[in-house]
Amino acid sequence: MASLRLSLPSKSLSTPSISHLKVGRNRASVSLFHGIPIRSPVVNPLRIGSPMKEKKRDTVVRASASLSVSARTLQWVSAVSAGILMVTRGTTIQKSFLVPLVALQAPAGIIGWIKGEYGMWTAFLTLLIRLFYFIPGELDLPFLTMLFVITAPYQAISIRGTQGGAIIALAIAVYLAFQHFSRLGNLRKAFDQGSIVATLAIICITVVPFFFLF
The domain limits of the chain are 69-212
- Cβ atoms of residues 146 and 119 within 8 Å: yes
Question: What is residue 201's predicted lDDT score, i.e. its pLDDT?
Answer: 93
- Check if the beta carbon of residue 146 is closer than 8 Å to that of residue 196: no
The Cα 67–Cα 45 span in angstroms is 33
CB contact set of 79 (below 8 Å; sequence gap of 6+): 102, 105, 106, 107, 110
**Ranges of residues in the chain whose predicted pLDDT is under 50:** 1-48, 53, 60-61, 63-67
CA nearest neighbour of 135 among 198, 100, 87: 87
Interval 54-103: pLDDT, tens: 555 555 445 444 445 588 888 999 999 999 999 888 788 899 999 999 99
- Give the pLDDT of residue 111: 92
pTM above 0.85, yes or no: no
Where does residue 22 fall: left (phi above 0), alpha (psi -120 to 50 degrees), or beta otherwise? beta
Q: What pLDDT score was predicted for residue 18?
A: 40
Cα–Cα dist 79/84, whole Å? 9
Q: Kindly list the distances between the CA atom of residue 74 and the CA atoms of 65, 82, 111, 201, 213, in Å, as whole numbers in the listed order.
A: 14, 12, 15, 13, 13
